[in-house]
Structure 1
Amino acid sequence: MTDDFGYLNARVRVRRAGLLPESFFQEALNLSFPDFVTALGESPYAEHLDGEDLGAVDRAVARHLAQTVGSLPQLVGGETREAVVMLLSRADLTNVKTILRAKEVGLPADEVKAHLIGGTLPEPVIQSMIEAPDAAGVVQAMVLPGHPLSAALREAVAAGGDLAEIEVRLDRAYYEGLRRLAKRLDDAFLQDYLALEIDGVNLSTAFKLAQAGGVGDPADYFVPGGRYVSEALFGRIAGGEEGAVDELAGTPLEPLADARDLGELEHRLRCLTLERASRGAFDAEGAGLVTGFIRAKEWEGARVRLLARRAYYNLPVEAVEREVFCS
Structure 2
Amino acid sequence: MPDDYAYINTRVRVMRTKLLGGRALESALAAGSYQEFLRVLTETDLAPDMRETTAEGAGLPELDRALSQNLFATTQKVLGFADGEARREIQVLLMRWDLVNLKTIARGIVSGRGPEAILESLIPGGTIRPATLRTAAQSTDLASAAATIAVSGHPLARAMREAAAAYAATGRLLDLEVALDQGYYRHALQVARNTSLRRYLGREIDVRNALIARSTRGQPVDPQLFVPGGRLDAAGYSRLASGDTSGVPEVAAILDAPSLEEAEVAARRILDDAARNIAAGDPEGVGIILDFLRRKEIEIAKLRLIGRGKYYNLPTEQIRREVMA
Q: Same fold (TM over 0.5)?
A: yes
**Equivalent residue letter for 1:10:** T
**Equivalent residue letter for 1:92:** D
Change in Cα spacing, 1:166 to 1:258, as seen in structure 2 (3 Å) is closer
> TM-score of the superposition, structure 1-length normalised?
0.82
Whether 1:231 and 2:234 are equivalent positions in the alignment is: yes
Deviation at 1:220, TM superposition (A): 0.6
Partner of residue 307, structure 1: 306
> TM-score of the superposition, structure 2-length normalised?
0.82
* Contact 2:92–2:191 (Cα < 8 Å) also in 1: no
2:213 to 194, 199, 206: 206
Where 2:256 maps in the other structure, the secondary structure is: coil
* Contact 2:196–2:278 (Cα < 8 Å) also in 1: yes
- Deviation per CA, 1:124-182, whole angstroms, max 9, x where unpaired? 55555555544345436645634322342134214533321221111111111111222
Work out the number of aligned pairs and report it: 314
- Percent identity, please: 35
- Shifted more, 144-153 versus 74-83: the winner is 144-153
Deviation at 1:304, TM superposition (A): 1.9
- Shifted more, 103-112 versus 139-148: the winner is 103-112
Matches within 5 A, 1:5-16: 5-16=5-16
Change in Cα spacing, 1:61 to 1:111, as seen in structure 2 (3 Å) is same
Unpaired stretches in structure 2, ≥5 consecutive residues: 54-58
* Contact 1:102–1:112 (Cα < 8 Å) also in 2: no
Distance 1:100 1:319 in 2: 32
Deviation at 1:245, TM superposition (A): 5.3
**Equivalent residue letter for 1:22:** G
Partner of residue 152, structure 1: 159
Per chain length, whose mean CA-contact separation is higher, i.e. which structure has more relative contact order (CA < 8 Å, sep 6+)?
1
Deviation at 1:35, TM superposition (A): 2.0
Distance 1:150 1:316 in 2: 44
**Equivalent residue letter for 1:226:** G
Whether 1:195 and 2:202 are equivalent positions in the alignment is: yes
Distance 1:275 1:22 in 2: 18
Distance 1:99 1:324 in 2: 26
Aligned Cα RMSD in Å? 3.1
Partner of residue 4, structure 1: 4
**Equivalent residue letter for 2:207:** G
**Equivalent residue letter for 2:303:** V
Unpaired stretches in structure 1, ≥5 consecutive residues: none
Partner of residue 21, structure 1: 21
Change in Cα spacing, 1:285 to 1:40, as seen in structure 2 (3 Å) is same
Deviation at 1:57, TM superposition (A): 1.4
**Equivalent residue letter for 1:153:** M
Distance 2:72 2:297 in 1: 11
- Shifted more, 73-82 versus 159-168: the winner is 159-168
Distance 2:136 2:316 in 1: 30
Change in Cα spacing, 1:191 to 1:291, as seen in structure 2 (3 Å) is same
Where 1:51 maps in the other structure, the secondary structure is: helix
Change in Cα spacing, 1:111 to 1:33, as seen in structure 2 (3 Å) is farther
Matches within 5 A, 1:141-290: 142=149, 145-159=152-166, 160-161=168-169, 162-182=172-192, 185=193, 187-210=194-217, 214=219, 218-227=222-231, 229-235=232-238, 238=241, 241=242, 244=243, 247=246, 251-253=249-251, 255-256=253-254, 258-282=256-280, 283-290=282-289
Distance 2:314 2:136 in 1: 27
* Contact 1:2–1:77 (Cα < 8 Å) also in 2: yes
Distance 2:78 2:109 in 1: 32
* Contact 2:5–2:285 (Cα < 8 Å) also in 1: yes
Deviation at 1:233, TM superposition (A): 5.0
Where 1:175 maps in the other structure, the secondary structure is: helix
Deviation at 1:257, TM superposition (A): 5.8
Change in Cα spacing, 1:268 to 1:289, as seen in structure 2 (3 Å) is same
2:72 to 41, 66, 71: 66
Deviation at 1:97, TM superposition (A): 1.4
Deviation at 1:226, TM superposition (A): 1.3
- Shifted more, 200-209 versus 97-106: the winner is 97-106
